[in-house]
């Protein structure tokens, strides 16, 4: 299966290991992975700041890079959701997948050669969870499901623990993290407090932006807890 | 006036109180979860209520006229107000005809929206708010911080101090039962003496011309049953077609609001009793403008349960007053810009767009999507803060050009250290990410 890897800009620049793990994992699972090298940003930072009118350039560049692909796969719930909801091309909107949903829904992965013998706290990133419906949500009266937990269950040695408030937002929120700095940090600190109470060694999520925010707080606190994008764990042999 | 971000920073400066506020409202959210999850039909009920509201809004004019005809036939006087000023003038005229200088009022967010108390005070008329929470904030000269729990920002110690000052309760007494009893005795005198009672309206039924008021304290009933004149103030969106529709809305309202199965008092006002007058004031105040915009129309489905407040991680950590509007929280943030774009430009940005509000909403308002739409409309209206427009356009330019993006990214990683300054809001309480030597693209090109 031919797959185009969509690497969000901040992952490209600051978290290349997440893109590397995505690439390796997809290849391990038998995909022919193409990385369009002129890709930049999906336009989400501008759009969520009220400047969707300024994203034409990003949309056009995204189209140029990803036009011919039936499967555009990215390791970021919020960027994928943005493309899915707002990209002008219907073909692209229908072809873009967050990597977990691609693994469970398209590749239908039922086993993985992955091992991660640690106690891991699961952070539900909102755009993946509520936007892309990667898992059921606490607000709704619906049957529990989680594509994320299903994938983590395939990893050897891992122990996944949920915080008390299973799906509260971490407070990143794009430019919210700086324009509403006080609330943003407080929300992140509160999430971390719950993960700390569970004595986890890692916090795992499907959105590197949430993890970047929590990592910033953890490091300022001098914590030993680390953050990992889910693909880093699924690709961890 | 402080922006939401500035007011929130002040609120959070008291970390213990912020935690208490957050946990108190989360407790209400959990109560709501429990009672909603024992109903297997919960999601169907939400959908049903949402469809009734959609239908009603699509035929609003007809239902309002039907309601007016029925209510008039029942002996209720119906008034129409285009805006807050008209509303207040109508209410004042009714009171002036009665000659009252003091009256009782049960909870009505609509009268907060119209700033009725201040208006009547300027005419020499005193309003005594009879909802306990509202009376507390009224004593303190504060606005309600929550539409269902108006004094939720206050602890029992604060209430004890306020009652000591205004009702003469012993200093230091913070016993809730004692303080509530003091409020009852205080309010009883006003109930008995008032010739005029104002109430809000939760639902108005087009089929029958009746209106329904839900309270837990019975204060709306105490006021309305003792006064010669009952004035009910309602927004035009509170109309529902049939009495049978209440079966859906009453179940959703109490469960979503406080986790109760039903409000303690659900009172149907159908016709005036002998010698009594009932007036109902139907207010537009921008609602028809909202109705005409397909992006925002369904915000008018709101039944004011405040479930979106209780679930909102931002609201719980910033308090209602940080929204500087009578209706705070996520729903307030999509209603307020319709009234005044400039004054409320910060509110649609007081959200992470996490989507919890949309999914908790009993009438399925797509709140977080409307927040997103308002962001676009407000920025397009030229209301961006200084520098934001230039910053965004620059960012859009860099991110649209692969070559400039690569150069920019490389420079950013090399000189990331200069961002480690208190001037960088990220760095105030968070470390910056560690910049890697190579970007993914650089690594990939060498692979």
Q: pLDDT by residue (tens digit) across A189-229?
A: 999 999 999 999 999 999 999 999 999 999 999 999 999 99
d(CA A137, CA A157): 26
Q: Are strands B265-269 and B211-215 parallel, antiparallel or unpaired?
A: antiparallel
One CATH from 3.40.220, 3.40.50, 1.10.730, 3.40.1710 for A119-234: 3.40.50
Pair of tokens at residue A44: 């989400």
Specify the pLDDT at position B422.
85
Which of A 78-137 lie inside 8 A of B, CB atoms?
A: 126-127, 130-131, 137
- The conformation of residue B387, written as its DSSP 8-state character, comes to T
d(CA B33, CA A166): 13
d(CA A195, CA A24): 29
Question: Is residue A121 over pLDDT 90?
Answer: yes
Which of B 305-344 lie inside 8 A of A, CB atoms?
A: 311, 313-314, 317-318
- Indicate the average pLDDT of chain B: 97
Strand extents, DSSP E, A46-110: 72-74, 96-98
Our CA dihedral for A166, A168, A172, A176, rounded to 10 degrees, sits at: 170
Helical pair B132-139 and B176-193, crossing angle rounded to 10 deg: 90
The answer, for B23 touching chain A at a CB cutoff of 8 Å, is no
The answer, for A140 touching chain B at a CB cutoff of 8 Å, is yes
Inter-chain Cβ pairs, chain A and chain B, closer than 8 A: 210
d(CA B412, CA B415): 5
Which of B 123-152 lie inside 8 A of A, CB atoms?
A: none
The answer, for B396 touching chain A at a CB cutoff of 8 Å, is yes
For A35-60, what is the mean pLDDT? 97
Contact assignment for A130 to B358 by CB distance below 8 Å: yes
Of A41, A54, A213, the CB nearest to B393: A54
- Using a CB-CB cut-off of 8 Å, the residues of chain A touching B424 are 178
Q: Which of B36, B352, B370, B386 to mutate to test the interface with A (most CBs of A within 10 A)?
A: B352
d(CA B132, CA B137): 9
- Top CATH class of B40-285 equals alpha beta
Concatenating the DSSP letter of every residue in B233-293 gives EEEGGGEES-GGGHHHHHHHHHHHHHS-SS-SEEEEE-SPPTT-EEEEEEE-TTHHHHHT-
CA dist B333 → B120, B289, B322, B337, B351 (Å): 27, 16, 11, 7, 9
- Using a CB-CB cut-off of 8 Å, the residues of chain A touching B5 are 179-183
Q: Where in chain B is the domain with CATH 3.40.50.10420?
A: 40-285
Specify the pLDDT at position A207.
97
ipTM value, please give it.
0.97
Which H/E stretch holds residue B63? Answer: helix B60-73
Q: Which of B37, B389, B440 to mutate to test the interface with A (most CBs of A within 10 A)?
A: B440
For A32-45, what is the mean pLDDT? 97
Contact assignment for B444 to A37 by CB distance below 8 Å: yes
Handedness of CA B434, B440, B446, B447 (dihedral sign): positive
Residue closest to B153 by CA, chosen among B7, B34, B254: B7
Question: Do residues B120 and B101 touch, judged by C-beta distance below 8 A?
Answer: no
B77-92 pLDDT, tens digit per residue, is 999 999 999 999 999 9
Confidence of residue B262 (pLDDT cuts 50, 70, 90): very high
Which H/E stretch holds residue A208? Answer: helix A208-220
For A66-74, what is the mean pLDDT? 97
The answer, for B218 touching chain A at a CB cutoff of 8 Å, is no
d(CA A16, CA B440): 5
A145-173 pLDDT, tens digit per residue, is 999 999 999 999 999 999 999 999 999 99
The answer, for A169 touching chain B at a CB cutoff of 8 Å, is yes
Question: Is residue B416 over pLDDT 90?
Answer: no
The answer, for B35 touching chain A at a CB cutoff of 8 Å, is no
- The conformation of residue B385, written as its DSSP 8-state character, comes to P
Question: Is residue B141 over pLDDT 90?
Answer: yes
Chain B: closest CA distance from residue A76 (Å): 15
B207-224 pLDDT, tens digit per residue, is 999 999 999 999 999 999
d(CA B437, CA A134): 33
The answer, for A157 touching chain B at a CB cutoff of 8 Å, is no
Contacts of A142 (CB under 8 A, 6+ apart): A136, B43
**What are the structural domain ranges in chain A?**
2-106, 119-234
B357-404 pLDDT, tens digit per residue, is 999 999 999 999 999 999 999 999 999 988 999 999 999 999 999 999
The answer, for A172 touching chain B at a CB cutoff of 8 Å, is yes
- How many CB atoms are located within 10 Å of the residue B324 CB? 19
The answer, for A180 touching chain B at a CB cutoff of 8 Å, is yes
Confidence of residue B132 (pLDDT cuts 50, 70, 90): very high
Question: Which residue is listed with tokens 């002996």?
Answer: B75
Specify the pLDDT at position B386.
84
Question: Do residues A6 and A19 touch, judged by C-beta distance below 8 A?
Answer: no
d(CA B329, CA A49): 19
The answer, for B47 touching chain A at a CB cutoff of 8 Å, is no
Contacts of B368 (CB under 8 A, 6+ apart): B330, B351, B353, B354, B355, B357, B358
For B422-426, what is the mean pLDDT? 92
d(CA B223, CA B214): 13
Question: Do residues A55 and A110 touch, judged by C-beta distance below 8 A?
Answer: no
B297-351 pLDDT, tens digit per residue, is 999 999 999 999 999 999 999 999 999 999 999 999 999 999 999 999 999 999 9
Pair of tokens at residue B98: 């009665």
Question: Is residue A55 over pLDDT 90?
Answer: yes
């Amino acid at each position: 299966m031919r797959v185009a890897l969509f690497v969000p800009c901040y992952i490209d620049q600051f978290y290349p290991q997440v893109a590397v793990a995505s690439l390796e994992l997809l290849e391990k699972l038998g995909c022919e992975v193409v990385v369009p090298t002129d890709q930049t940003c999906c336009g989400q930072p501008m759009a969520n700041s009220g400047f969707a009118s300024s994203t034409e350039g990003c949309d056009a560049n995204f189209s140029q890079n990803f036009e011919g692909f039936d499967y555009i796969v990215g390791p970021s719930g919020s960027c994928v959701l943005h493309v899915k909801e707002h990209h002008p091309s219907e073909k692209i909107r229908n072809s873009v997948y967050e990597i977990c949903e691609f693994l469970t829904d398209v590749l239908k992965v039922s086993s993985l050669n992955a091992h991660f013998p640690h106690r891991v706290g699961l952070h539900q990133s909102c755009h993946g969870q509520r936007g892309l419906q990667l898992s059921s949500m606490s607000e709704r009266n619906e049957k529990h499901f989680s594509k994320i937990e299903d994938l983590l269950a395939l990893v050897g040695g891992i122990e996944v623990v949920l915080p008390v408030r299973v799906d509260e937002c971490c407070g990143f929120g794009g430019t919210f993290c700086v324009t509403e700095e006080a609330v943003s940090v407080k929300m992140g600190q509160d999430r971390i407090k719950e993960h700390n109470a569970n004595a986890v060694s890692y916090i795992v999520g499907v959105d590197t932006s949430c993890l970047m925010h929590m990592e910033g707080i953890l490091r300022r606190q001098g914590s030993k807890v680390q953050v990992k994008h889910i693909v880093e764990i699924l690709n961890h042999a | 006036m402080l922006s939401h971000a500035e007011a929130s920073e002040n609120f959070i400066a008291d970390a213990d109180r912020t935690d208490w506020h957050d946990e108190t409202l989360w407790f209400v959210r959990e109560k709501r979860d429990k009672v909603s999850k024992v109903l297997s039909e919960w999601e169907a009920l939400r959908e049903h209520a949402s469809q009734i509201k959609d239908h009603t809004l699509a035929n609003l004019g007809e239902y309002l006229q039907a309601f007016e005809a029925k209510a008039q036939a029942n002996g209720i006087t119906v008034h129409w107000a285009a805006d807050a000023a008209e509303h207040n003038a109508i209410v004042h005229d009714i009171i002036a005809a009665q000659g009252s200088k003091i009256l009782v009022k049960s909870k009505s967010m609509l009268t907060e929206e119209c700033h009725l108390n201040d208006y009547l005070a300027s005419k020499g008329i005193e309003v005594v708010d009879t909802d306990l929470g509202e009376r507390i904030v009224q004593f303190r000269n504060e606005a309600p911080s929550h539409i269902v729990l108006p004094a939720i920002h206050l602890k029992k110690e604060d209430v004890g101090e306020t009652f000591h000052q205004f009702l003469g309760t012993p200093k230091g007494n913070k016993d809730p039962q004692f303080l509530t009893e003091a409020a009852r005795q205080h309010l009883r005198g006003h109930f008995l003496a008032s010739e005029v009672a104002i109430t809000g309206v939760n639902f108005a039924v087009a089929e029958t011309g009746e209106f329904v008021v839900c309270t837990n304290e019975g204060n709306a009933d105490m006021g309305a049953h003792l006064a010669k004149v009952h004035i009910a103030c309602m927004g035009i969106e509170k109309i529902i077609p049939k009495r049978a529709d209440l079966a859906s809305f009453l179940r959703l309202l109490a469960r979503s609001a406080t986790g109760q199965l039903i409000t303690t008092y659900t009172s149907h006002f159908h016709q005036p009793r002998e010698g009594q007058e009932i007036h109902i004031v139907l207010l537009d105040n921008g609602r028809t403008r909202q109705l005409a915009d397909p992006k925002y129309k369904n915000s008018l489905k709101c039944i004011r349960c405040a479930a979106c407040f209780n679930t909102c991680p931002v609201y719980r950590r910033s308090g209602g007053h940080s929204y500087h509007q009578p209706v705070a929280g996520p729903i307030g943030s999509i209603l307020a810009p319709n009234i005044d774009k400039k004054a409320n430009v910060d509110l649609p940005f007081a959200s992470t767009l996490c989507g919890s509000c949309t999914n908790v909403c009993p009438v399925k308002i797509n709140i977080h999507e409307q927040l997103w739409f308002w962001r676009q409309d407000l920025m397009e209206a030229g209301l961006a803060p200084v520098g934001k427009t230039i910053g965004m356009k620059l960012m859009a330019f860099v991110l649209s050009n692969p070559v400039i993006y690569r150069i920019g990214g490389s420079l950013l990683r090399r000189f990331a250290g200069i961002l480690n300054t208190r001037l960088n809001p990220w760095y105030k309480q968070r470390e910056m990410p560690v910049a890697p030597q190579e970007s993914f693209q650089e690594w990939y090109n060498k692979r």
